[in-house]
Structure 1
Amino acid sequence: MLSIGELAEHAGVTVKTVRFYSDRGLLPEAARSAGGHRRYGPEAIDRLRLIRSLRTLDLPVTDIDRVLDREDALEDVIAGQLKELGSQLAAMRWRQAALHLLRDCTAEERADRLRVIGTVAAPPDTAALARFWRRVLPVRLPARMVSWILDAAVPQPPADPTPAQVLAFARLHALARAPCPPGHGWRPPAPERDPEYRPAVLYDGLGEAYQLVAPALRTGRAPHEGEALDCFVSAYAGAHGARDTPAFRRRLSLRLDRSAHPVMDLYWQLAAELATPLEPTLGAAQDWLRTALDTNLSEQHA
């Protein structure tokens, strides 16, 4: 049997350390001496060394207790710690970029930037952006459709953001949380008044059109007529019980006029700053297809 001093000497720690772990139940004593002093078995040396190794990884006492009680708990503890450290590192990188953003601007810009980024947590979440899209999307869309739209339309905060990306995400967050302008609705009213309007048909077709146009976006090819544009127009025509005709394309071009959708255009401008060239946004796809439609109509008119 080892006294507390002997155990401390064998393990290379202080008596205070042994007492600390004993008091927290990590290092149970084997017996007490006649004078009431703690006594430990020889296995306590290896147990104490294991505790020290785990503590060098900054594991909390509760996690160490789990590892000591269950041999298979270490893997779960490691996974949990890695996830927590990942969140902490993401928060630190976000704060660092935000501080650079505030440092590298004029005094006039600083107050506005402070106001905007001050509403976003570090690291930020996308809950406000998801709520924005649920307000924008037509009611009663199938759940699977809402899911893919949210996945594609809500940009994830970069793991290692630049100062410009911090500002873009903060402004996007502010835009999503802004109240609806008086006299306007987030959902376009015209299609809702059309008795033939079938939003599920529209968004299903748009999803296919966006996939078709993605290669052209990645390679920087200019907007042009073709399968992607035809699929795009057919989505709108099918949603309204119409046919794809030159007259319908002219009406659709007027309806998709950029000046009529300032909020959504601003949303996609900001989202584009958070995207990568290999992951074009839905807004970039929509803009490419709108331009392709206008170009097609101009060529027909000429």
Structure 2
Amino acid sequence: MKPPSFEYHVPGDVDEAVGLLAELGEDAKAIAGGQSLVPMLALRLANPEHLVDLRRLDGLRGVEERGGTVRIGAGTTQAAVARSAGVARSVPLMARATPLIGHFQIRNRGTVGGSLAHADAAAEYPAVVLALDAELQAVSPRGTRTIPAAGFFTGLWSTALDEDELLTAIDFPVRRGRSGFAIEEFARRGGDFAIAGAAVALELDDAGRVARCGIGLFGLGSTPLRAPAAEAAATGAALADIDPDELGRTAIGELDAVPADLHASADHRAHVGAVVVARAWRRAAEEAGRRAAEEAGHRAAEEAANG
């Protein structure tokens, strides 16, 4: 099918883009890489009268570390995230999620902000920002506001962004030291949306107990989700006392409903969901434990050197 007719706008800066969105209201749609919106237009799942193209907005692109925060511009392509040494070092969960997104042609055009604003429940980035407690920056004629990831995804393909707001950047807390990160998903073919997936971020305290953990779920509801009961069960416990399989069952057991579709029944998706949570937890826990052991070894060596 061909997309419906629309009027095309190419603003030169963020202020102009926001002004167009405010002026045109619900009849306008912002387009970045177009990897989600263009197929929706072709299938007539979206029918905007105006498209506001963000490709000339250089200020929306780039990665910048600011003290304890890494800011990724909303217009940064997924391929650029994959190439960024700063992201790999300071936000490794984003770096590890990126190769799972579609194919390299999609990642060359698709943007971080486009994926988040599209809010597909089976996409990787939304679950990652939830697991990491990221903050999303949005601008409108009224100014800039910060939206916590936990309050950003409001429903199927819907977010907390107002019609005249533009997503400009995402701020990620830098988590180093005794931390571990992993993302696991199951899809029928490489590049397909996941039937179920999980992103895990955890940190250990000096005693080797879980000080903080975030478990983001995708493909398991109408929105990307957190698993608060599983997170609460793990927090404060020693890694050796946590059964990853039981944690996976807890994460899935707290869901109100698991969707069924042509790709998987609800029971199958729930079973796979529990498995990928357990796998992601094991990998993240192994990394956190290894880093804790390395840190303890360095500390012991320093103490020995200092006599």
Which TM class, normalised by the smaller chain length? Answer: under 0.3
Structure of higher CA gyration radius: 1
Instruction: Please state which structure has a larger fraction of its residues in helix.
Output: 1
TM-score scaled by length of structure 1: 0.25
